[in-house]
Amino acid sequence: MASKRKPYIRETRADWWKKNAHYRFYMLREGTAVFTIWVSLLFFILLVSPASFTRLTGNPLVIVINIAALAASILHSKTWFELTPRALTLAADKTANLTRLLWGAAIGFTILVLILSFI
Amino acid sequence: MTENGKMTLRIQRYNPEKDDEPHYEAYEIPWNAQTTLLDGLKYIKDNQDPDLSFRSSCRMAVCGSCGVMINGVPKLACKAFLRAYPLGASIEPMANFPVEKDLVVDLTDFLEYIQALKPYILGNARKPEDGPNRQTPEELARYYKFSLCINCGLCYAACPQFAMNAAFAGPGAVTLAHRYNLDSRDQGRSERLKLLNSKHGVWGCTFVGYCSEVCPTRVDPAAALQQCKAQSALHFAASVLDCAKNKEACHGEQT
């Protein structure tokens, strides 16, 4: 007897990520990369021409973008610190310690950079 | 048991002999605090529509047969209580797999990868006479979580990468391979890494992480995939070093 099979394949549309909160947050998390490009560009300008860097960072629009970039990088760090321990073969108790260690290192490094920039 | 009243389930139907595409049909069913979605589906099949097709077996979240989408979320029908959906629910077959009929999907892509990744102990020459092959609690703890997989496929229904590329090995099969890669009794890691490192292996994963959220046995397949990426990267680095050391052998392999 001939097969009556006719599997129906559902299409994945470009808006698949709008379907649930987890996917939307994933897109937000990955979207923080755009701000990383922006910050890299700023550093590049600082290296090439410090004078235009100073002029640029005084621009109100740039300040707004920089605040958004700061928020994006904090979100990126938070999710990264949560995901990193899972990527390592560690026991559960060590995982919690590693997350704390990463947060400590990030906060410590931020304070160090702030102190250095005011000297 | 007292009834809480009636609720409406909208179920996606597809008959390959009659339909060109799926459509929804609504069924009104009685429910109480103990009714699972699987009970509801069985009620419909017994009392309203004997043509309704769905898979099920153990009805206690052990066999992994009854995965469906409830309001777009992958779940086991036997583990989902209807009391969580007092306003009714929309039921679809597991996403990302081809639909055979109604709620039955074709799991071939997933099952073939399980087979290809050899999730069993390889390269261990011990014989039964040698007695039990002991492990320390730490050695067991490394892979125990990943050994709880029941092959239900919900992680594939949650995976947008698998949705876009059915050739991607996917969360479930990679987790099973990784479970054996981590086992101190196993020697098959480099054999499995060939496929895990390949075009359709672990690097197709972008750590969306929804697979771990929907897993009914809390296996955390997303973690297994990331750990596997680390192993894959180390394996690649080792093979490059090996090539640098042993040029003739490597060039011989390429040609």
Provide the residue ranges of all domains of chain B, joining segments of one domain with +: 5-105, 108-250
- Centre a 10 Å sphere on the Cβ of residue B227 and count the other Cβ atoms it contains: 24
Q: Which CATH class is domain A18-117?
A: mainly alpha
The CATH number corresponding to B108-250 among 1.10.1060.10, 2.60.120.260, 1.10.3720.10, 2.60.40.60 equals 1.10.1060.10
**Runs of H (alpha helix) within chain A:** 21-48, 50-57, 60-87, 92-118
Instruction: List, in sequence order, the alpha helices (H) in B145-220.
Output: 154-157, 160-164, 171-181, 189-196, 210-214
- A12/B160 touch (CB, cutoff 8 Å), yes or no: yes
- The answer to whether the predicted template modeling score (pTM) of the entire model surpasses 0.80 is yes
Amino acid at B58: C
pLDDT, tens digit, 9 for 90 and up, residues B97-110: 999 999 999 999 99
Q: Which CATH class is domain B5-105?
A: alpha beta
Condensed to tens digits (0 to 9), the pLDDT of residues B5-54 reads 899 999 999 999 999 999 999 999 999 999 999 999 999 999 999 999 99
The answer to whether B86 touches B152, Cβ cutoff 8 Å, is no
For chain B, how long is the longest CA-to-CA vector?
A: 78
Which amino acid belongs to residue A92?
A
Per-residue pLDDT of chain A (119 residues), as tens digits, is: 789 999 999 999 999 999 899 999 999 999 999 999 999 999 999 999 989 988 988 899 999 999 999 999 999 999 988 888 888 876 666 777 888 888 899 899 989 998 998 87
**Which residues have CB under 8 Å from B33's CB, separation 6+?**
B4, B81, B83
> Which of A19, A86, A89 is nearest residue B220 as measured by Cβ atoms?
A86
Return contacts of B18-23, CB within 8 angstroms, 24+ apart: B21/A8, B22/A8, B22/B99
User: What ipTM goes with this model?
Assistant: 0.87
- Shortest alpha-carbon distance between residue B246 and chain A (Å): 31
Cβ–Cβ gap A16/B14 under 8 Å: no
The residue written with tokens 């989408």 in the block is B69
